């Protein structure tokens, strides 16, 4: 048997194996272990609420705790702006709701995730919150 015959035999086996793997495992998520997904899970497994300032901002932007949960569960985690070497952990999340982009800092506690900073990125809406 020549090298090319052996090579083509292995190549056919590889292609069949990849196709079978794709058919068997295509409906499973293989990304649950990635850091961003783990942070989203951590943020949303406890209730989410704002502090005095962010509650005012949420009212101004037309957001509530359940929308903030949606942003936390579907937004992108910005690890460069997150504070992961502090206690409690603080994660910056960038997400969208109703066509508006938001940037929110979440503080992760044992029983609660708190929104401690909030900005609406694509609108210069002025909120009178202190």
Residue 19 has pLDDT above 90, yes or no: no
pLDDT digit string, tens, across residues 34-44 = 888 899 999 99
Query: What long-range pairs does 64-69 form, CB within 8 A, spacing at least 24?
Result: 67/97, 68/104, 68/115, 69/44
The mean per-residue pLDDT over the stretch 26-32 comes to 65
pTM, two decimal places:
0.74
85 alpha carbon, distance to own chain's centre: 19
Residue 30 has pLDDT above 70, yes or no: no
Amino acid 26: pLDDT:
64
Beta bridge partners of 14: none
Residue 95 has pLDDT above 70, yes or no: yes
Amino acid 31: pLDDT:
65
When the pLDDT of each residue in the chain is averaged and rounded to a whole number, the result is 89
């Amino acid at each position: 048997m020549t090298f090319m015959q052996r090579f083509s035999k292995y190549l056919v086996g590889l292609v069949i194996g990849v196709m079978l793997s794709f058919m068997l495992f295509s409906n499973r998520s293989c990304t649950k272990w990635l850091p961003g997904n783990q942070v989203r899970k951590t943020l949303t497994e406890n209730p989410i609420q704002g502090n005095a300032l962010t509650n005012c901002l949420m009212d101004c932007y037309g957001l509530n705790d359940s929308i903030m949960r949606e942003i936390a569960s579907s937004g992108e985690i910005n690890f460069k702006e997150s504070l992961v070497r502090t206690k409690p952990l603080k994660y910056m999340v960038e997400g969208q709701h109703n066509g508006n982009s938001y940037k929110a800092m979440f503080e992760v506690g044992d029983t609660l995730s708190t929104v401690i900073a909030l900005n609406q990125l694509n609108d210069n809406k002025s909120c009178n919150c202190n």
